[in-house]
Structure 1
Amino acid sequence: MEWDPTQFFRDGVRLSVPFALLVLNQPINERAFAALKKHACFTVCADGGANRYYDLMKSQDKETSDLPNVIIGDLDSILPSVRKHYDSLGVEIIHDPDQYSTDFTKCLKYLRANSSSILRSAATNPDSLLPETALKTDPQSSPRLDVLILGGLGGRVDQAFSQIHHLYTMSRHSGNEDSPGELYLVSEESISFVLRKGRNVIKTPGTRRPLSSSSDSAHTSTSNSDLTNTQSYPISDTGDVYYLEENIGILPASGPAVISTNGLEWDVSDWRTEMGGQMSTSNHIRADVVTIESNEQVLFTAELAERFKAK
């Protein structure tokens, strides 16, 4: 499996896969939102997430011009004034009273069911950066639409674990009718996603890391064919070239796993990791491509560049 998490933040880059933004009822990382909104082909608010979206737009005097595409949920959290505001502007508001699913999963279900029409509509935008293959899919399956979730790991601890649970659940069904595509959680400081069993190749260009170090040199001599570019990016005063800081974590959130890595400061081989045992946290990116092999799904989390972190 190949991952390219920084593509969502890069200006002028044609995306390998189109994505939708899902806004939860948690504080929005405004800096990350500003970068992601430019490239998203669709925006959905999960019930009370509409309140968060409205407040952010109002602070920028854009509450009547920058609108979500749809609001979905049991609608017990959206404020009456916010609902009236978006209803008056023609925003689709869907009441789903199902008490056996969360507003989060209701939004994912909607995105899956409507991915073809969402992409078809987005493709008519002359400024669209959708990949040319976005609509060229097997007629028996829906086009892939990845989802970036804003607010996924903030707030209450039980809700944070619930979002991670959804990540694991959806990743197990990726590619079938239960999943709209890959899911990414964008929190105040990080972007996180679940790696597959087997080999995962993660592109990490634009990572702020030391210009030179013994670990870089040692890694270069042992890198495989995927690690073709290990030079570090120059540090500028503005930091405009950066998308990630060097810190990452590989978390065995669903149970013990055995992992092997390449491209990190502290690489491991056939290394057992588990909650309550050894874990790879606060490790450092040391190449433009990182490979991680695992016998089980693991959560990968990378620190966003300072300019994308919440204020």
Structure 2
Amino acid sequence: MEWNPNLFFRPEGSPSPYALLILNQPINEKAFEVLNEHASYIICADGGANRLYDVAKSQGKESIILPNTIVGDLDSLHPQVRQHYENLGVTILEDPDQYSTDFTKCLKHLNTHSSEIVASPRKQRKDSSSGSKWAPDLVLEIVILGGLGGRVDQAFSQIHHLYMMTRAQRELRETSQDQDDQGQKKPPSAAGGNLYLVSEESITFVLQQGKNIIYTPGTRRPDIVQAAVDTDSPTENSEGTLKRKRDKEETEYFFEENIGIIPLSAPASITTQGFEWDVEDWHTEIGGQLSTSNHIRAEKVEIETSVPVLFTVELAQRLKR
């Protein structure tokens, strides 16, 4: 399975459509500013609409930065926020089901309407040569904005839902690729995209059993920074060198080098490639050995795991809350 978490932070925009799902958690405003620029769709999970409203209002843009849809049981949505968005034509869907969370309700909505979103995103991306829309076989990726730095139980709840929903997404994608009753391959579906959780300082996702390839260009690695400094002209003063380093960080870096690989549901055996400390058939479990604070050392890293594990990488300083 392949993962490309840097796609969403590129200044030119992602080559794949993605939806931005905002939970009722503190918003990483710096990351949101970048993610909002090219998101195909914005959906708020109930009180997540309050969070979006507060961020937009602080910029004087509460009538400009709008969600496409608000979904949930609506017990957390402030009346004045609801009225504000209703007046501006935002779709608000009440789902009273108490056996599902607002997160899962939003995910269900995105999967149901994924093909429509890909075909007609909120900000139409056009190919410079053909002016075409997204290709119909592209899967809608889902970027979740939520916090992990508050209450510990809420942080674990988010990790739990990320784990469960990632498994559900994978099953949905596999089902959508099956044949119909007549043995014919089903038409392409945009449902079942990967889930990425963006919190205050990290982007996190659940790797699946087997081999996972993660593309990591745009990582601020000391070996690359030093190489750039070494190639500077020897006659240039240090102030100029430092300024260029700062400019590079501001425009090109998406991640810091630090990563973690955390087993969740069961002990795991992992083999890695592309990190400072690679391992082979390494046993990891809660209460035993854990892979934390390892360092990216390649533009493409690989992790093979016996069971699903959590992968987290630190955001670049300019993208932290």
Question: Superposed, which structure 2 residues align to 1:20-59 within 5 Å?
Answer: 20-59=19-58
Question: Superposed, which structure 2 residues align to 1:135-284 within 5 Å?
Answer: 135-137=135-137, 144-177=139-172, 180-211=192-223, 236-238=245-247, 239-240=249-250, 241-284=252-295
Amino acid at match of 2:153: D
2-side partners of 1:100 and 1:236: how far apart? 51
Secondary structure of 2:80's counterpart equals helix
1-side partners of 2:245 and 2:151: how far apart? 37
Which structure has greater helix proportion? 2
Amino acid at match of 2:72: G
Secondary structure of 2:98's counterpart equals coil
Q: TM-score scaled to structure 1, two decimals?
A: 0.85
Q: Is the 8 A contact 2:269 2:283 kept in 1?
A: yes
Partner of 1:140: none
| Cα displacement (A) at 1:155 | 2.7
2-side partners of 1:235 and 1:302: how far apart? 25
Computing the radius of gyration over CA atoms, which structure comes out larger, 1 or 2? 2
Partner of 1:288: 299
After superposition, the CA RMSD in angstroms is 2.3
Q: What is the number of equivalent residue pairs in this alignment?
A: 283
The one-character-per-residue Cα deviations of 1:285-311 (angstroms, maximum 9, x if unpaired) are: 11111111111100000000000000x
Percent identity for Structure 1 against Structure 2: 59
Secondary structure of 2:245's counterpart equals coil
| Cα displacement (A) at 1:136 | 3.0
Q: Is the 8 A contact 1:122 1:128 kept in 2?
A: no
Q: Is the 8 A contact 2:147 2:200 kept in 1?
A: no
Q: Is the 8 A contact 1:27 1:154 kept in 2?
A: no
Name which of structure 1's ranges 168-177 and 43-52 shifts more when overlaid on structure 2.
168-177
| Cα displacement (A) at 1:211 | 2.4
1-side partners of 2:142 and 2:299: how far apart? 24
The one-character-per-residue Cα deviations of 1:152-173 (angstroms, maximum 9, x if unpaired) are: 4243222222221222212223
Partner of 2:316: 305
Gaps of 5+ in 1: 138-142, 214-233
1-side partners of 2:310 and 2:270: how far apart? 12
Partner of 2:111: 112
The one-character-per-residue Cα deviations of 1:208-238 (angstroms, maximum 9, x if unpaired) are: 111279xxxxxxxxxxxxxxxxxxxx97113
2-side partners of 1:20 and 1:184: how far apart? 11
| Cα displacement (A) at 1:58 | 0.5
Secondary structure of 1:268's counterpart equals coil
2-side partners of 1:134 and 1:176: how far apart? 24
Q: Is the 8 A contact 2:43 2:106 kept in 1?
A: yes
Distance 1:150 1:207, change over 3 A: same
2-side partners of 1:244 and 1:151: how far apart? 18
| Cα displacement (A) at 1:14 | 4.4
2-side partners of 1:157 and 1:144: how far apart? 33
